[in-house]
């Protein structure tokens, strides 16, 4: 009869194999290309297979975020889904953030970050993109596309909205949250 330790030694290789498959599928080392049909989580996050992917360089409204009376987070998700339109997405990982792969992704050669910023559905996340999508965001603003369609100003940037509204961020709330966090 095999004791507990014996069973553990028999199961250990299997557990290590399963863990390595899971970790590989969710980390995608640099230089790896991920492609496939994507499920859209929100305006800047997709899933291809088991990999959760944050689009590099943009910041889209959070799902529960409202811009004035408009559910802009839902609009951003719908816009990304419409841009992808069931086509194969190709992603080039740049790193990780909050257990998600951060990647530059495209559909038929069209950069999804650029398309979302130009559609007025995402901000250039200059902190990370170093202005890569600033011209796209500016063009959307000037043409009143997407979030700027109704001309209401200012639109709360998603990073500020998160800092004001997500419970895990409440300890570092910006001073101006009291009058802007409801928008």
Please give the radius of gyration of the chain, using alpha carbons only, rounded to the nearest integer.
20
Phi, psi of 129, deg, nearest 5 = -85, -15
Helix (H) or strand (E) segment spanning residue 138: helix 134-142
Pairing between β-strand 88-97 and β-strand 100-107 as defined by DSSP bridges? antiparallel
Task: Compute the C-alpha angle 95/34/97, nearest 5°.
Answer: 25
For the purposes of burial, counting CB atoms within 10 Å of the CB of 180, is it exposed (0-12), middle (13-18) or buried (19 or more)?
middle
Average pLDDT over residues 96-124: 95
Give the pLDDT band (50/70/90) at residue 111. very high
Q: Model confidence over 55-92: pLDDT tens digits?
A: 999 999 999 998 878 899 999 999 999 999 999 999 99
Is 28:51 a contact under the CB 8 Å cutoff? yes
Write down the pLDDT at residue 30. 56
163: left (phi over 0), alpha (psi -120 to 50) or beta: alpha
Residues forming a β-bridge with 60: 122
**SS3 call for 167:** helix
pTM: 0.77
Other Cβ atoms less than 10 A from the Cβ of 60: the count is 28
Domain ranges for the chain, please list them: 25-171
* pLDDT mean across residues, the chain: 83
Task: Say what percent of the chain tops pLDDT 70.
Answer: 75
Q: Model confidence over 7-54: pLDDT tens digits?
A: 545 554 444 433 443 444 445 555 689 999 999 999 999 999 999 999
The CATH label, of 2.40.50.90, 2.30.30.60, 3.40.50.720, 2.60.40.1250, for the domain at 25-171 is 2.40.50.90
């Amino acid at each position: 009869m095999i004791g507990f330790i014996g069973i553990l030694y028999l199961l250990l290789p299997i557990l290590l194999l399963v863990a390595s498959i899971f970790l590989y599928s969710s980390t995608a080392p640099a230089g790896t290309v991920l492609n496939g049909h994507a499920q859209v989580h929100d305006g800047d996050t997709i899933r291809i297979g088991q990999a959760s992917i944050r689009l590099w360089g943009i910041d889209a409204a959070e799902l529960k975020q409202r811009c004035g009376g408009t559910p802009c987070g839902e609009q951003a998700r719908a816009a990304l889904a419409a841009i992808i339109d069931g086509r194969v997405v190709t992603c080039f990982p740049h790193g990780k953030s909050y257990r998600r792969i951060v990647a530059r992704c495209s559909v038929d050669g069209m950069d999804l970050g650029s398309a979302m910023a130009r559609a007025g559905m995402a901000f250039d996340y200059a902190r990370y993109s170093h202005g890569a999508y600033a011209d796209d965001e500016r063009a959307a603003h000037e043409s009143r596309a997407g979030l700027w369609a109704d001309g209401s100003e200012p639109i709360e940037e998603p990073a500020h909205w998160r800092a004001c509204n997500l419970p895990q961020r409440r300890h570092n709330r910006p001073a101006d949250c009291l009058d802007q966090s409801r928008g």
